[in-house]
């Protein structure tokens, strides 16, 4: 085994795909402490700057006072507290659905939803750029997997027309996590209707960020619960805490309580986190200036990047990739940025397609214009523009 592992790691290294973890020692804020140094952070998913919010810290402490630390059991045994229950109701109301069900992570939510709904005789349709957790869920469900090229709806329609399986589920990221572009949901809604398929949106990066009131990509396109009957959202990104949920009809949620194995066979999220998430949801709904500030900064970033001849995409979300092509170059630029005390991770295959290694810059409402200026000036120099 040792030889095999040594070999495997060597191959990864030679292909510039070896992954290491960065250790930091501070809250998730725009400036991180790494080895005692202050480093400017442009790779967090804490889009609204809530992860270190004083009200959330107090809520967590109060939650611990009331409920202690561990939930002690799964939801179906006796781990389901009033705090979890209230959170589910508040989340359902927020996204305008009958009910919601919370999971410990987004990865687990996707596994549970998809394997809980589909089996051997069914079909699932995934965009090539859908999140890894959706691909894993599809494989685990044993449903027939149809993948279509990114946003290629003609190919999707072709798959839908030829599939003979009983139930069809189309699943898409609301905002694609590595490119920051939006799924064109109206088209997917139309195709789902035409071919009697169900539609599920994973809105990990849209929820809290998009739409007037932060209800995500579904709100952005002014769609409703009939258009998108299965909505999944995560609570560790814009919500600044941890966890995830699925929202939909009474029947959908009751079914998943019976069938979603990653819901049933796991210890419930600590109740204090459910308490914290209620406060977080309240902040996401009421502190609308955070969303506005984030979009102001996104606009500023794009405008200034163009002035500096940086090639950006047309992403309107806090995810702003700079595509560099080969993995080695992406790694080198990321390291050069770090020498300037700027942290931007290089994203390489297999997370993104071959030849599209990139810097994945993410913005937060907590950043300042001068921090963005410093990032862009440094990039301008490093890339010799």
Active-site pick, 177, 262, 280, 334: 177
Backbone angles phi, psi at 155, to 5 degrees: -65, -40
For 314, the token pair is 């047309």
- Max Cα distance, the chain (Å): 60
Rg (the chain; Cα; Å): 21
Q: Which is nearer to ligand PLP, 117 or 376 (CB)?
A: 117
- CA–CA dist 49, 336 (Å, integer): 26
- Which residues from 70-89 bind ligand PLP, rule CB under 6 A? none
For 125, the token pair is 């349709």
Smallest gap from residue 211 Cβ to ligand PLP (A): 17
237 is annotated as an active-site residue: yes
Count of positions on this chain that bind ligand PLP (CB under 6 A): 14
Active-site pick, 80, 131, 159, 237: 237
The piece of 66-74, 105-113, 268-276, 328-336 that touches ligand PLP (CB under 6 A) is: 105-113
| CB-based contact 170:156 (threshold 8 Å) | yes
Kindly state whether residue 173 participates in binding ligand PLP, applying the rule CB under 6 A. yes
Q: Which is nearer to ligand PLP, 272 or 333 (CB)?
A: 272
Q: Which is nearer to ligand PLP, 79 or 174 (CB)?
A: 174
Give the burial string for 43-57 (b: 16+ CB within 10 Å, else e): bbbbbbbbbebeebe
| CB-based contact 261:115 (threshold 8 Å) | yes
Smallest gap from residue 303 Cβ to ligand PLP (A): 26
Kindly state whether residue 334 participates in binding ligand PLP, applying the rule CB under 6 A. no
Q: Which is nearer to ligand PLP, 137 or 327 (CB)?
A: 137
Question: Among residues 133, 315, 317, 356, which is the contact residue for ligand PLP, using CB under 6 A?
Answer: 133
Smallest gap from residue 244 Cβ to ligand PLP (A): 5
Place of tokens 């349709």: 125
262 is annotated as an active-site residue: no
Kindly state whether residue 245 participates in binding ligand PLP, applying the rule CB under 6 A. no
Quick one: angle between helices 82-95 and 54-67, nearest 10? 140
- How many other C-beta atoms lie within 10 A of the C-beta of residue 325? 12
3-state secondary structure 9-31: HHHHHHCCCCCCCCCCCCCCCCE
Backbone angles phi, psi at 47, to 5 degrees: -60, -30
- Output helix, strand, coil percentages for the chain, rounded to the nearest 5: 45, 15, 40
Question: Among residues 41, 234, 279, 280, which is the contact residue for ligand PLP, using CB under 6 A?
Answer: 234
Smallest gap from residue 242 Cβ to ligand PLP (A): 7
- Which residues from 190-209 bind ligand PLP, rule CB under 6 A? 202, 204-205
Question: Among residues 126, 143, 238, 244, which is the contact residue for ligand PLP, using CB under 6 A?
Answer: 244
Residues binding ligand PLP (CB under 6 A): 105-107, 110, 131, 133, 173, 177, 202, 204-205, 234, 236, 244
Active site residues: 177, 205, 237
């Amino acid at each position: 085994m040792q030889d095999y592992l040594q070999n495997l790691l060597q191959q990864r290294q030679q292909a510039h795909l070896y992954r290491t973890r960065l250790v930091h020692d501070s809250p998730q804020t725009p400036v991180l402490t790494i080895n005692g140094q202050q480093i400017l952070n442009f790779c967090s998913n804490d889009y609204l700057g809530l992860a270190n919010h004083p009200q959330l810290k107090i809520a967590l402490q109060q939650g611990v006072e009331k409920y202690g630390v561990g939930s002690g059991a799964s939801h179906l045994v006796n781990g389901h507290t009033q705090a979890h229950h209230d959170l589910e109701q508040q989340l359902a109301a927020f996204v305008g659905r009958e009910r919601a069900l919370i999971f410990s992570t987004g990865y687990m939510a996707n596994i549970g939803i998809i394997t809980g709904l589909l089996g051997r005789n069914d079909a699932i349709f995934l965009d090539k750029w859908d999140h890894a957790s959706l691909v894993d869920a599809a494989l685990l469900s044993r449903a027939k997997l149809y993948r279509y090229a990114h946003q290629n709806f003609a190919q999707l329609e072709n798959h839908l027309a030829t599939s003979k399986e009983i139930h069809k589920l189309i699943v898409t990221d609301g905002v694609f996590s590595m490119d920051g572009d939006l799924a064109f949901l109206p088209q997917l809604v139309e195709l789902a209707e035409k071919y009697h398929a169900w539609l599920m949106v994973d809105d990990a990066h849209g929820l809290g960020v998009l739409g007037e009131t932060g209800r995500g990509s579904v709100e952005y396109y002014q769609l409703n619960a009939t258009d998108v009957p299965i909505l999944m959202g995560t609570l560790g990104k814009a919500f600044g805490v941890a966890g995830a949920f699925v929202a939909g009809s009474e029947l959908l949620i009751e079914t998943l309580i019976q069938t979603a194995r990653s819901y049933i066979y796991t210890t419930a999220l600590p109740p204090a986190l459910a308490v914290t998430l209620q406060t977080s949801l309240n902040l996401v709904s009421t502190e609308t200036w955070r969303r506005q500030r984030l979009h102001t900064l996104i606009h500023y970033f794009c405008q200034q990047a163009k002035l500096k001849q940086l090639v950006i995409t047309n992403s309107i979300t806090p995810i702003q990739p700079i595509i560099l092509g080969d993995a080695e170059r992406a790694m080198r630029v990321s390291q050069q940025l770090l020498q300037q005390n700027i942290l931007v991770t290089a994203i390489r295959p297999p997370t993104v397609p071959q030849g599209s290694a990139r810097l994945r810059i993410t913005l937060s409402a907590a950043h300042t214009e001068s921090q963005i200026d410093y990032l862009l000036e440094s990039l301008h120099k490093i890339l010799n523009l």
